Amino acid sequence: MQYVAAGTPGPSPVLLVVFAVGGLAALWCGVNWAFDVRGITTSRAERIRRRNEERWAAVGRLGGSPTLFASAGCLRFLGAVMACAGLVLLLATYALWHLN
């Protein structure tokens, strides 16, 4: 609080709140995607992948799915990356709060 007395403003409380809320949201969504406890994300991804394969097979294209992000493993990986991004935002919030 010595900086406030010297006339130097501290970090904006709005910025701290935005970082904290963004970090918590990213952490929450990322953990839900990464662990996928109820299996909603992976089952939906599997349906999308199958539907895309059927469409491309009807067109005459052989092999794989044109949608990279429709696999369950990819969604779990993206969820883990999002959770890590949420942790980074929370750490940035903590650092800004303590460094003024």
pLDDT at 90: 94
Q: What is the pLDDT of residue 26?
A: 93
Quote the pTM value.
0.64
Do residues 41 and 49 lie in contact, with contact meaning Cβ atoms separated by under 8 Å?
Answer: no
pLDDT at 33 over 90: no
DSSP code string of 21-89 = HHHHHHHHHHHHHHH-TT-HHHHHHHHHHHHHHHHHHHHT--SS-S-GGGSHHHHHHHHHHHHHHHHHH
- pLDDT tens, residue by residue, 51-90: 877 777 666 655 555 566 666 778 788 889 999 999 999 9
The rounded radius of gyration (Å) of the Cα atoms in the chain is: 21
| Domain chopping of the chain, boundaries | 10-99
